[in-house]
Chains A and B, each alone.
Chain A
Amino acid sequence: MTEPADLSAAELAERIRGGDEGALRVTRSCLGRIQALDPQVRAFLTVNDRAQEEAWRLDRCRGQAPPATLDGVPVAVKDNILTRDLRTTCGSRILERFAPAGDATAVERLRAAGAVILGKTNLDEFGMGSSTENSAFGATRNPWDLGRVAGGSSGGSAAAVAAGMVPLALGSDTGGSVRQPAAFCGVVGLKPTYGRVSRFGLVAYGSSLDQIGPLGRTVRDVALVLTVIEGADPADATSSPVPGRDYVAACEDGVNGMRIGLPREYLGEGLDPEIERAVLGAAGRLEQHGAGTEEVSLPHTPYAISTYYLLATAEASSNLSRFDGVRYGLRAGDTGDLESLYRTTRGMGFGAEVKRRIMLGTYALSAGYRDAFYNTAQRARSVIRRDFSQVFGSGVDLLLTATTPTVAFRLGEKLDDPLAMYLSDVYTVTSSLAGLPALSVPVGLSAEGLPIGAQLIGPPFGEDRLFRAGAVIASMFGSPRPPLLPARPAGTGSG
């Protein structure tokens, strides 16, 4: 019989609703997988010790209320998203013992839909990184090859889903932090349109870019989570009232008649040829299903990394000023006066990458440099955004690119070279700067057996199109299963 931990969220919710499965049994199955594999993978920072009790309670109360969308489905939450009374560290020493007073809106909505929060997943400190090596609590390993990174910054969420520890996880994406680890770990990851999902309770990094997004093993599961967490929230003034769609139904709509653009700046130089072939294979699949593909141009793409790293760090330098050793978190010992307390606490509490980004952002905003760096980057952001509006304005429905230029790299490979690490975000930062929705979908394995991801980018609030095309691509490649996992019994499992 298939282990509950191996099923998709949609299958689990259906079985639990139908009385064929219990939330407690499902939760125990996932906890068993965590116990067996997480000592190697290190995806979780905290496992919720109340999860079994919460699942038991859901089983006891079943039938007393209308069935919920995610009834009894275990979900992991990236550790920069607040969970009431469950430690939220942001992967930082400065918040090592921080227990939030409330849930983030996205978590509140998951719980209201019947989800069991199984635990908190590892990340690059405050979301700053592309490998999850910048966590103060150690790196997460890629379930496909424990010598490689899981990607980042939502590496713990992606690895947990890939290793079958949970069917679903929340991540956050500022410049690719859901999509890049999803691609490296062979799972599906969505960055919704800026404003689609409330950020209330997401610890801010780059506020004009941050979005919470789901990761899952199937496109349909990711669609299901978006239906639960999306929508306006009075607690987040940037959340949007633009109505959502039935994203799960969109997964069945196909791509007949759609126009798919292949941006020429994303192909060729710098892209691993194996990944290019896989992405073009996905384009062929979309064509077989009735879509048309065409080459398009986003000419200002080469400016995106510079623009992103100036704007995101400028915003980070302001957002992270709240960590001062006064209201919460770490405080340095006897420091004399208040000014020294700030400097010593922050010096002790933040890791090297966070300090580097705070300093870069502070420099870009400082007197004499603001025009040359920050203001120029804001102008570059305008032209990058204009590139996308022109392409979508010409009638193109979606863009298809690689998610990453390479497959998962080795642990430590880029740790001493921040610039090389920043360049691994080259295909994901553009849509972040433009506030657009983007989905990473597995499109096969490299010759070395490592996952490859393709990225679909849509116009604002065009998530339904991403799911239409994503489901078609996924029907070709399915949900790859890392060798770390026990083999599935023949004829079972989810697609």
Chain B
Amino acid sequence: MFDHLDNPNPRLPTEGGARAALAEGRRRVRRRRVVVGGGTAAAALVALGIVGTLVLPGGSDQEQVVVDEGDGRTTSLPRGGIVGEWTPVAYSAVVVGQLNQLLSLRADGTLLAHDGCNDLTSTWREEDGHLVLTSDPVVTTAACPPGFDDRELHRILISEPRIDVWDGDPATLELRSGDDWIAFGRTDGTKPESGERAVWDIDPDNPPSSESSTFTALVTGVSCNNGITDEVLRPGVDPGEATIVITFNVALPSSGAAFCPGNPPERYQVDLGEPIGDRRLVDGGCEPTDIASTSFCAEGPVRWRPPTEAGAFDPEASTVCPESISSLRLSGGTLVAAYDTTYVGLEEVLGEEDTMTNPPAPDTPVSLCWYEGASFVPPPEMGEPSVVDAVSWYVDRLPVGAASTTRDPHRPGG
């Protein structure tokens, strides 16, 4: 079909080119070996061929020793290499359901993990180039939906497997067990400190302006906690082109059973690190989670809009959407549009990676809107803003994707 576009005189690749690619590839890759667990349990798992891989962040200023996979060399691992909070960004298999997994390796030797349902606590230390869990993991016993106990994170940590460390991509951490793997990204500042999810609002007495780089949030824990909002933890601040998503957690309740009279808000000074500009402030607590459908997020996740937006072109107001967005639902991974026979794969709506790492809960309201002449948020794959002119997708009223089409924009059913 496109043979006529071929290069008639392609230059044949040389071995020098291969060596250069390999050298540069090696520079980007650092391999290390770490053992989680130890003793007979780990030895037995190794004997069974259960081997894991951790991908560590690069960092030229840290002591890092390259250890080729399989050659048996182990070296001292700088503790700073993996200290921090990690959240999953990809899995070897499609994971169904809401994910809120987290692995925290704290400098004080505490290991905390959340598999999406239960919490796992242990301690860790570095020993002769190995990462060793120094106490039996303590796991909460909440009743979980089917499949949670079998998740990669839960299984790998509980099993105390031998884990290799592999660095293929800076700021990435990967657990591998046989063909299964789970890749983490550093939470850095974009994810909140782990705890119970909370929602927030602007302090009406002290609202920010476009020039503000800090503002006061009123944070409310949403779990039953005897009418108390526990300690507000460091929020995640995720600045984007059109939005700044701020996500809060509060400290875990100290006791199990609790009454639910409603919790009062606590003030928290948020440092954005840069002026808000013409971006919206969005409550990440209202992004697809079990909270999203509650009254806390009934008005949507946007907590503040720039004053200039009122007089500017509003793409939402110009969209041609179905009258009732509730007619569009996610059902079994398929977006079903009620107004015509459109069936769109979930991965097409959210992008494959987003579908894997942050799938919306079933029955999440989704709108699919046609609009005309709008400059809008691009699909995630495009990376940077651009003008598109045909269709956009919203999940819980947040734009998650858009695309142009060769056809003229048209009204659904029209």
Q: Does A associate with B in a complex?
A: no
Chain A interface residues (CB < 8 Å from chain B): none
Task: Name B's A-contacting residues (CB within 8 A).
Answer: none
